[in-house]
Amino acid sequence: MKRTKIKDALLQQKGEKILVKGWVRSFRSNRFIALNDGSCLSNLQIVIDENPDTFEKNAEILKNITTAASLSITGTLVESLGSGQAVELVAKFSDIEILGLANPDDVQKTILQPKRHSLELLREQAHLRFRTNLFSAIFRIRHNMAYAIHKYFNDKGFNYLHTPILTASDAEGAGEMFRASILDAKNPPLTEDGKVDFSQDFFGKETNLTVSGQLEAELGAMSLGQVYTFGPTFRAENSNTSRHLAEFWMIEPEVAFNNLTDNMDLSEDFLKYLIQYALDNCMEDLQFLLQREEAEEKQKPQNERNEMSLIDRMKFVLSNDFERLTYTEAIEILLNSNPYKKKQFKYPIAWGVDLASEHERYLVEKHFKKPVILINYPREIKAFYMRNNDDGKTVAAMDVLFPGIGEIIGGSQREERMDQLIGKMKDFHIEPQSLWWYLDTRRFGTAPHAGFGLGFERLLMFVTGMTNIRDVIPFPRTPKNAEF
RNA sequence: UCCUCUUUAGCUCAGUUGGUUAGAGCACCUGACUGUUAAUCAGGGGGUCCUAGGUUCAAGUCCUAGAAGGGGAGCCA
C-alpha cells in the first residue's frame, strides 16, 4: 500500500484503509498515539483496538511505542469518539511496525521530551528542533516564502541569476568578509615584504565569500532586463544581535530602466505579495504561531505588549500604503518630536548623521505606525554605487523599515553615469581599475537601473512573529557558533 | 566590540546572614490504567551548584579572572 500523508489522511473519507508513517509525539493510556509526519502541523491520532489481555503477548511492541520513535501503521480511518480531532486511525498491534526506536532515557535528555522548552535550549539542539510544532511550522512557512519569491519574480518575467559565492572583488563595501583559502593556515607562503602570498592560493588572488550579489546582478540586468538573486550571503561582522547572522539569505532584484520610484513600487508590491501568500497558504501554521505569541504576550507587562496580533499586523501592512518620505523630512519630524524635545533620544539628530535604530523605531512604530520607506540619504553615509541626486548632497537610496524589525530592505537607483561613478569611487577610496568589469557596463550602452536587497530571515521574522533571527533559519551561524 | 543580566538535577527554577545530608514542579524509570488530548494515580532513581584561582574554621552563597547564553547598542539585510 502507498503511504498517505497525514495532511491528506485528515481530509480523507472515513472507512478507508490507509498506510501512514511518522514519529510519535505522545502515547497515552496504552492506547492513543499522536503521530506526526511533518506534512502539516496536526497529528493523526492512532487508536490501538485491542483488549488488555493481548498486552502481554505484545509487550515488546507496546514498550517500544515511545515519544520520538518512528512507526509505520495501516489502519482504518473512522470518526473520532474523542473531542480533540475529527478523525482517527484504528489499528491492531499486528498493523504497527516500529521503524526506529527511541530510548526514553536518552530522549529525556533532549528537547524531544514532551514539555515546553526555552528557545535558547531549542537552539542548542537545532538538529532536533524540527520535531517541535513551533519549528516545523516556521520551516514550512520558510519554504512557502522561498517558493513565493521565485513565483513572484517568475510571474513578472524576471530571470533568476546565480551570482558567485566565491568572489575576488573586495570593493563592495558591504562589510567584513570571510576569506576563502586553501593556503596552509599555519605557514602560509609569504611575499618578499612579509605579506601572505595569495598568488599561490587556489584562484591566484585573495578571495572571499560574497557579501552581496548586487554588482554581478547589475551586469545581468544590463542585458536580461530584470534579474534577481536569491542565495546565501556572508558577513564576518562581530554582530551579536537578534537581527544579524553571519550567514543569511538575501534576495536582490535588479531592473534595467527603473528609477527610484519604480524601485519603491517594486519593493512594496513584492513584500505585500509575500505576506498575502503566507496568509493564503500557511494559515494552520500561522494560527499556531498566533496562539503561541498570544501566550507569550500574556507574560509581559502591558506596555511591552504588541498593539496588534501577528495576523493583524500582516493584514495591516497589506491594507496600508507604505509611508514614503525623504531623509531630510525624517530629520525634520525627529527634531520636532516629543522624545527629542524631552531629550529621550540617546543619539544625536542632525542632517548628515545616519539615523540610529531608536530614531527609525520612533518613525515606524510611533509616528507613522506603518512601514516607512526613507529615500534620498546624504551621499557620504551610503555606498558608492548609489546615484547622485541633482542637489549635489544626496543619493537615490531607499530603506524600507518595518515595525519590530527595522531595516528589511535596502536599495537604490544605481549611478549609471561613468564620470559620476568614477568620482564616487575616488571619494570612497576604491581603485576604479579593481572594478573594471563593473565600469564596462557604463561604457557600453549604460542605462538607468535600480535594485534592492531583502533580508530573507528578516521577512520571516515578520511573517512568523519570531523575535530572534536565529529561530527562523535552520542552523544559525553567529560569532562563536557554527555547530551542526 | 560596548552596556547589562543570567549560569544549581534531563528541563524550568527556588536556595534566607557564609553553617548539618542542596530542594520543588515537569520529564525519566517501575507499577496501575480501554476514550486519552503535554492523560492520570502510587512509588523510585537522578547533582563537576559554568570554569580556574582566592578569602574563610567553613563557599551554591563573598572576591578576582575567564567562558557560554539572553536583552539592548553599533554595523547592516
Strand-by-strand arrangement of the A449-455 sheet: A159-160, A226-234, A247-256, A449-455, A406-413, A394-402, A372-378, A323-326
CA closest to C1' of B40 belongs to A29
pLDDT at A172: 61
Residue at the smallest CA–C1' distance to nucleotide B29: A105
d(CA A181, CA A189): 12
Residue A193 DSSP class = T
CA–C1' span, A287 to B71, in Å? 27
- Determine the distance between A276 (CA) and B28 (C1') in angstroms: 44
Q: Which residue is nearest to nucleotide B67 (CA to C1')?
A: A480
Range A113-121 contact pairs with CB under 8 angstroms and sequence separation of 24 or more: A113/A67, A114/A25, A114/A26, A114/A67, A119/A468, A119/A471
Mean pLDDT by 10 residues, chain A (484 residues): 95 91 92 94 93 86 91 94 91 93 90 89 93 95 98 98 89 77 91 92 93 95 97 92 94 98 97 98 95 83 79 94 96 94 90 93 92 95 95 96 91 97 92 93 97 96 95 93 88
Q: How many Å does it take to go from CA A135 to C1' B39? A: 25
Decide the pairing of beta strands A226-234 and A159-160.
parallel
Start-end of H helices in A186-308: 214-224, 260-281, 283-299
CA of A114 to C1' of B14 (A): 23
Closest nucleotide (C1' vs CA) to A346 is B73
CA of A357: nucleotide with nearest C1': B73
pLDDT at residue A296, rounded to an integer: 83
Q: Name the 3-class secondary structure at A272.
A: helix
Locate A215 and state its grid cell.
554588482
Using the structure, give the distance in angstroms from the CA atom of A480 to the C1' atom of B54, rounded to a whole number: 30
Q: Which nucleotide is nearest to A411 (CA to C1')?
A: B77
Nearest nucleotide (C1') to the CA of residue A82?
Answer: B35
Protein residue minimizing CA–C1' distance to B11: A117
Measured from the Cβ of residue A392, the count of other Cβ atoms closer than 10 Å reads 7
Nucleotides of B under 7 A from a protein CB: 1-2, 10-13, 26-29, 33-39, 67-77
Measure A116 CA to B30 C1' (Å): 25
Q: Which nucleotide is nearest to A214 (CA to C1')?
A: B77
Which nucleotide's C1' atom has the smallest distance to the CA of A109?
Answer: B10
Pairing between β-strand A247-256 and β-strand A226-234 as defined by DSSP bridges: antiparallel
pLDDT at A113: 87
- List of E strands, A379-434: 394-402, 406-413
Q: What is the ipTM of this complex?
A: 0.89
Q: Report the nucleotide nearest the CA of residue A81, measured to C1'.
A: B35
Instruction: Calculate the angstrom distance between C1' of B60 and CA of A322.
Output: 54
A110/B17 CA-to-C1' distance in Å: 39
Query: For A234 and B11, how far is CA from C1' in angstroms?
Result: 34
pTM: 0.95
Distance A120 CA to B32 C1' (A): 37
